[in-house]
Structure 1
Amino acid sequence: MFDVYACLTDQHNPWLVALAGMICLFAAWTALSLTDRARAAIGRGRPLWTAAGALATGGGIWATHFVAMLAFQPNVPIGYDLGVTALSVALAVGLTGVGLGVNLRGGTLPALGGGGLLGAAIGAMHYTGMAAVRAPATLSYDPSFVAASLVIGGAGAAAALALTAGRSGLQRRAMAAGLLTAGICGLHFTAMAAVRLIPTEALLVPSPAAPTGLAAAVAAITMMILVLSLAGSIVDQRLATRAAREAARLRASETRFRQLADVTFEGIVIHAGGRILDVNRAMARLLGRAPEDFIGLPVLDFVAPSHREGLVHAAATPHEPREIALLHADGSLVDVEVLGEAIEHDGRPAWVVAVRDLRERKQAEERLRHMAHHDLLTQLPNRALFNDRLEQALALAERDGGAVAVLCLDLDRFKAVNDLLGHHGGDALLQQVAQRLLRAANDQDTVARFSGDEFVVLQTRVAQPAGAEAVAKRMVAALGAPFDLDGQPVRIGTSIGIALYPQDARAGEALLRNADTALYRAKADGRGTYRFFEAEMDARLQERRRLERDLQQALLGEQLTVHFQPLGDCTTQQIVGFEALVRWNHPERGLVAPSDFIPMAEETGLIVPLGEWVLREACREAVRWPSSIRVAVNLSPVQFRHADLAERVIGILKDTGLPPERLELEVTEGVLIDDSARALSTLKALKDAGIRISLDDFGTGYSSLSYLQSFPFDKIKIDRSFIGNMPTNEDSRAIVRAIIALARSLRITVTAEGVETEEQLRLLRSESCNQVQGYLLGRPAPADDVSARLAEPAPELVG
Structure 2
Amino acid sequence: MIEILGCLTYEHNLPLLFLAVGVCCMACFVSANVVRRLRLVARGHRVIWAIVAGLVYGCGVWATHFIAMLAFQPGLPISYAPGLTAVSALVAVLGAALAFPLVQASGKPRRGRALAGGTVLGLSVGAMHFMGMSAMRLPGTVEFSPPHAVLSVLAGGGLAALALARRFDRRRGRLAAACLLAVSILCLHFLGMAGTTILPDGNVEVAGGGLDGHLLAITTAAVVAAIATVGLSSVVLEEKLWGERTRDAARLRRLASGTFEGLLIHRGGTILDVNETLARLVGLPAAALVGHDITRILPAGVASRLRADPEAVANGTAALELELVTEGGRSIPVEILSRVIEEVKTGWRRRARLQPACAVAIRDLTERKRAEAQIRYLAHHDGLTGLPNRALLADRAHQVLELAAREGRGAAILCLDLDRFKTVNDVMGHEGGDRLLAQVAERLRASLRASDTVARLGGDEFAIIKADLDTPEAGAALANRVIAALSVPYDLDGQVFEIGTSVGIALFPGDGRTVPRLLHNADTALYRAKRDGRGVYRFFEPAMDQRLLERRAMERDLRVAVERGEMFLVYQPQFDTMTRELVGQEALLRWTHPARGVVPPSDFVPLAEEAGLIIPLGRWVLETACIEAAGWPVPCRVAVNLSPAQFRQPDLVAAISGILERTGLPPQRLKMEVTEGLLIGDTERALTVLRALKAMGIFLSLDDFGTGYSSLGYLRRFPFDELKIDQSFVRGLGRDVESAAIIEAVLALGRSLGLSVVAEGVETEEQLGMLRSRGCPQVQGYLLGRPARSGEFFAAAVTPRLPETLLAASPHMHGSA
Preserved CA contact (<8 Å) 1:269 1:354: yes
Deviation of 1:493 (Å): 3.4
Q: Is the 8 A contact 1:698 1:704 kept in 2?
A: no
Identity, in percent, stands at 43
SS class of match (1:595)? helix
Corresponding position of 2:256: 261
**Secondary structure in 2 matching 1:556:** coil
Deviates more, 1:684-693 or 1:398-407: 684-693
TM-score by length of 2: 0.74
Q: Structure 2 CA distance, aligned partners of 1:242 and 1:110?
A: 20
Paired amino acid for 1:351? A
Answer whether contact 1:476 1:529 (CA < 8 A) is retained: yes
The secondary structure found in structure 1 opposite 2:538 is strand
* 2:458 is the alignment partner of 1:451: yes
Q: CA 1:481 to 1:125, structure 2 compared with 1: closer, same or farther past 3 Å?
A: same
Q: 1:502 aligns to what?
A: 509
Rounded to whole Å, the distance in 2 between the matches of 1:642 and 1:465 is 46
- Compared with structure 1, are the counterparts of its residues 560 and 626 closer, same or farther at alpha carbon in structure 2 (3 Å cutoff)? same
Distance 1:758 1:594 in 2: 26
What's 1:34 paired with? 27
Q: How does 1:314-713 map to 2 (within 5 A)?
A: 315=310, 317=312, 319=314, 321-325=318-322, 326-331=324-329, 332-341=331-340, 343=342, 348-357=354-363, 358-483=365-490, 485=492, 489-626=496-633, 628-672=635-679, 678-701=685-708, 703=710, 707-711=714-718, 713=720
Paired residues of 2:29 and 2:175 also in contact (CA < 8 A) = no
Q: Which runs of 5+ in 2 are unaligned?
A: 1-6, 39-49, 79-137, 167-173, 347-353, 806-817
SS in 2 for 1:776: coil
Q: What displacement does 1:346 show?
A: 8.8
Cα pair 2:591 2:599 within 8 Å, conserved = yes
1:260-297 alpha-carbon deviations (Å, 9 max, x no partner)? 33233322222233232322212212222221232333
Displacement, 1:695? 3.1
Change (3 A) 1:386 1:552: same
In structure 2, distance between residues paired with 1:422 and 1:209: 126
Partner of 1:132 in structure 2?
199
Distance 2:531 2:333 in 1: 56
Residues 103/82 of structure 1: CA separation in 2 closer, same or farther (3 Å cut): farther
Contact 1:336 1:359 in 2 (8 A): no
Deviations 1:586-636 (A, max 9, x none): 212222222222233333332332232222222222222346422222233
Q: Structure 1, unaligned stretches of length 5 or more?
A: 1-6, 72-78, 135-204
Per the alignment, do residues 470 and 58 of structure 1 end up closer, same or farther by CA in structure 2, a change over 3 Å counting?
same
1:273 aligns with 2:279: no
- Cα deviation, residue 652, structure 1: 2.2
- Does the Cα contact within 8 Å between 2:30 and 2:232 map onto a contact in 1? yes
Shift of 1:516: 0.9
Partner of 2:336, secondary structure, is strand
Instruction: State the 1:560 CA deviation.
Output: 1.5
Tell me the SS of whatever aligns to 1:341: strand
Alignment of structure 1 residues 168-183 onto 2, 5 Å? none
**Retained in 2: the 8 A contact 1:28–1:57?**
yes
- Measure, in 1, the Cα distance between the counterparts of 2:607 and 2:653: 24
Distance 1:28 1:488, change over 3 A: same
8 Å contact 2:20–2:67 — kept in the other structure?
yes
**Residues of 1 paired with 2:302 and 2:771: CA distance?**
94
Matched, 1:84 2:143: yes
Matches of 1:729 and 1:209 in 2, distance apart? 163
Partner residue in 2 for 1:751: 758
Q: 1:295 aligns with which of 285, 290, 297?
A: 290
Against the structure 1 CA distance between its residues 366 and 694, is the aligned structure 2 distance closer, same or farther, given a 3 Å change threshold? same
Query: For residues 51 and 94 of structure 1, do their structure 2 counterparts lie closer, same or farther at Cα, with a shift above 3 Å needed?
Result: farther
Which piece of structure 1 moves more, 48-57 or 326-335?
A: 48-57
Task: Identify if the C-alpha distance between structure 1 residues 609 and 58 changes in structure 2 by more than 3 Å, giving closer, same or farther.
Answer: closer
Displacement of 1:502: 1.0
Distance 1:222 1:709, change over 3 A: closer
CA contact (8 A) 2:419 2:499 kept: yes
Higher mean alpha-carbon deviation, 704-713 vs 550-559, is at 704-713
Superposed displacement of residue 38, structure 1: 4.0
Kept after mapping to 1: 8 A contact 2:294/2:303 = no
Q: TM-score, normalised by structure 1?
A: 0.76
Q: CA deviation at 1:501?
A: 0.9
Cα–Cα, structure 1 residues 785 and 550, in superposed 2: closer, same or farther, change >3 Å? Answer: same
Separation in 2, partners of 1:109, 1:600: 103
Q: 1:354–1:209: structure 2 CA closer, same or farther, 3 Å change rule?
A: closer
> Superposition RMSD on alpha carbons, in Å?
4.3
- 1:518–1:754 Cα change, 3 Å: same
Instruction: Check the 8 A contact 1:62/1:125 in 2, yes or no.
Output: no
Q: Secondary structure at the match of 2:392?
A: helix
Deviations 1:76-108 (A, max 9, x none): xxx853133899997998699579859968879
Q: Which has the larger radius of gyration?
A: 1
Contact between 2:77 and 2:139, CA under 8 Å: does it hold in 1? no
Output the amino acid matched with 2:260: F
2:672 partner SS: strand
Q: How many residues are paired up?
A: 704
Alignment correspondent of 1:208: 205
1:282 to 277, 282, 290: 277
